[in-house]
Amino acid sequence: MTLSLAMIVKNEEFVISNCLSSVRGLVDEMVLVDTGSTDYTKIIAKTIGAKVIDFEWVDDFSAARNESLKYCTSDWILVLDADESIDLIDHQTIREAILREEVDAFNIPIRNYLANKQIMMMDKTLVRNKRSRYKEGRGFPYYAQHDGMRLFRKLNDNMYEGKIHETVDQFFIDNGSKIEGLEVAIHHFGKMLFDKENSKTPVYLKMAEEEAEAQPDNPRVWYNVFQQALVADDHKSVLNAAKNYLRINHLQAPAIIYIGSAMALRGLGRFGDAIICLDAVLNLEPDNKLALKYKKEILKTMKADNKKDFRSL
C-alpha cells in the first residue's frame, strides 16, 4: 500500500519545512496545492521534494482539498496542515494501519499545543503535557485534543464537503465504510501563531455565514458559524447560529451550543439568561467542568455588581 501526503498551503514559509520533514520516510509522495503564496513556501516545498500545484482560491476549502486529491497517486491519503507534524515514532504504526484491508478511514487524535491555561478551545479539556513520549510538541506545557479523519483510502477525487471546516467524514459514512481510531498523534502548533490566527477570524466567519445562507437547513454549517462567531467574540452571531442549529437539530445538540450561548449572553450582560443555558447543561451533565466554571464566574460577577435578579436564580 502506498501513501500520499495531501496539503493545501498559502504563505507558510516558517512552518512548512518542519511539516514536510516530519513525514519523510513515511509517505511515498507529497502533494501541495498552493492557493497563492507570495513568500518562499513553494520553493521550500519543492526543495524538500514536494509536488506543488497552483490553484486559484475560490473561497472554498473543500474545492482546494479535492484539488489536492486529484494529484495524489497513492492508495491512501494522509492530510496535514502546514503547522502540523507527525512524530517519527508513529511512522511504523501508520504504515501498518494502511495494510488493514477491512478499514477505509482512520480518525486520528490532533494535539493542539497551548502555551498557558487561559487559551480555550471550545469545550476541549486541557491536558498537561508532562512526560510525553513525543519529541514533537514537548516544549509546550498544555494541549487540547480532538479527533479528525486525516488518514483514508483514496476512493474518489471529490470526497471533501464544506466551504469551511471541510471534512471527508460524510463521504465514508454514506459509503458504509469501516472507520476506526488510530492511536498516533498529529501535532498542531497553529494555535500559538496568534497574529495569523487572529487575521483568519473575520475571513472564516464570513465564509461560514455565506455557507449558512446557501444551506439554511444544514446544522453542520450553522455549527461552523457558531464556532467562528465564538472565536470572533461576535455575541449576536453566536446566538443566531445557536438558535438556527437548535431549530434543526435540538435533540442532538452538544453541550457546547448551550455553553457558548451562555458565554455570548454573558458578553451582552444578560447574566440570568446565561445561567439558564448553563443549568440546561448541568441538569444533564452535573460534572461538566466548563459549565460549572462559567456559572461560578457569572454568579460571582452578579453578586459583586448587586444584580437585582441574583436572588431569584
Report CA torsion sign: 235, 167, 65, 91: positive
Hey, what amino acid is at 29? E
- Residue 312: pLDDT band (50, 70, 90) is very low
Nearest residue to 114 (alpha-carbon basis) of 201, 165, 190, 227 = 190
Which three cell numbers, joined as nine digits, stand for 260? 457558548
Measured at the CA of 30, the angle between CA 92 and CA 188, to 5 degrees, comes to: 65
97-154 pLDDT, tens digit per residue, is 999 999 999 999 999 998 765 455 556 678 888 889 999 999 888 898 999 999 999 9
CATH for 199-312 is 1.25.40.10
Helices (H), 28-90: 41-48, 61-70
Separation CA 58–CA 67 (nearest Å): 12
CB neighbours of 172 closer than 8 A, spacing ≥ 6? 104, 105, 149, 152, 159, 179
11-61 pLDDT, tens digit per residue, is 999 999 999 999 999 999 999 999 999 999 999 999 999 999 999 999 999
pTM of the model: 0.79
Measured at the CA of 173, the angle between CA 171 and CA 174, to 5 degrees, comes to: 65
263-297 pLDDT, tens digit per residue, is 999 999 999 999 999 999 999 999 988 899 889 99
**29 DSSP β-pair partners:** 4
Which three cell numbers, joined as nine digits, stand for 75? 492508495
pLDDT for residue 122: 56
C-alpha separations of 232 from 53, 146, 192, 254, 313 in Å: 32, 21, 17, 20, 29
185-216 pLDDT, tens digit per residue, is 999 998 655 556 667 788 889 888 999 999 99
User: Are both 3-192 and 199-312 of the same fold?
Assistant: no
The CATH superfamily assigned to 3-192 is: Spore Coat Polysaccharide Biosynthesis Protein SpsA; Chain A (3.90.550.10)
HSE, CB side, 13 Å, CA atoms: give it for residue 31: 21
Domain-wise residue ranges, the chain: 3-192, 199-312
